[in-house]
Amino acid sequence: MSPTDAERAWTRVGPDRTAYAGFVRVVQRTLRLPDGREAVWDMLDTPASVAVLPLTPDGDVVCVRQFRPGPGRVVLSLPGGLVDDGEDVAAAAERELREETGYAAGSVEVVGSTMPNNGTHPRYAAVARDCVLTHDQDLDELEDCEPVVLSLTELRTELRSGRMAATEQTYLALDHLGLL
């Protein structure tokens, strides 16, 4: 007989310990396995984040091109960023869209989330509809985003190429809209 999920669950032992605190925070978490062994896991303790798929009234998608240190190159991505403590996820999506692109949304809907295997907070996906350019960008100190408007066909091509960032959120948003 197979064990249940509850029987497979690992139990947290004590509080997390900060291993590194820089742009991201790494915590060490001690967990007890079902057989009684204990293991220490490094976890990325970053705040929740949101990526928003912004649709214009014509059905095009507003993306951003920006340098990302992980891949070490300029990548195409959905606008998005961190959800501030106590901030509504849809409000964060709308704020990040305005700041990074200058576009305002007629409506914003949070459509799903993913949970990284070694992370402590979710990554949300949102869809913004009726997005129109209303003002200049309002970028953070270390942001350098170039807004790019793509057709859905162009977005799907870029997504499938493996060159995009925020791929999980992009797929969640397109799946929610029935546009994969």
List the domains of the chain with CATH numbers: 5-44 (no CATH), 49-176 (3.90.79.10)
> What's the predicted TM-score (pTM) here?
0.91
**pLDDT at residue 135 tops 80:** yes
Nearest one of 176, 150, 168, 154 to 64, comparing CA atoms: 150
Q: What three-state secondary structure class fits 145?
A: coil
Q: How far apart are CA 43 and CA 26, in angstroms?
A: 6
Q: How far is CA 148 from CA 19, 23, 75, 88, 165, in A?
A: 38, 27, 11, 26, 14
User: How many Cα atoms occupy the beta-carbon half-sphere of 131 within 13 Å?
Assistant: 27
**pLDDT at residue 44 tops 90:** yes
pLDDT class of 23 with cuts at 50, 70, 90: confident
Lowest mean pLDDT, pick from 21-25, 44-48, 88-92: 21-25
Q: How far apart are CA 50 and CA 89, in angstroms?
A: 7
**pLDDT at residue 1 tops 80:** no
Burial (Cβ within 10 Å: 0-12, 13-18, ≥19) of residue 172: buried
**pLDDT at site 140:** 86
Q: Strand 123-129 to strand 49-54: parallel, antiparallel, or no bridges (unpaired)?
A: parallel
30 or 70: which carries more pLDDT confidence? 30
C-alpha angle 20/85/19, rounded to 5°? Answer: 10
**pLDDT at site 143:** 86
Q: How far apart are CA 60 and CA 155, in angstroms?
A: 9
Nearest one of 47, 48, 58, 62 to 127, comparing CA atoms: 62
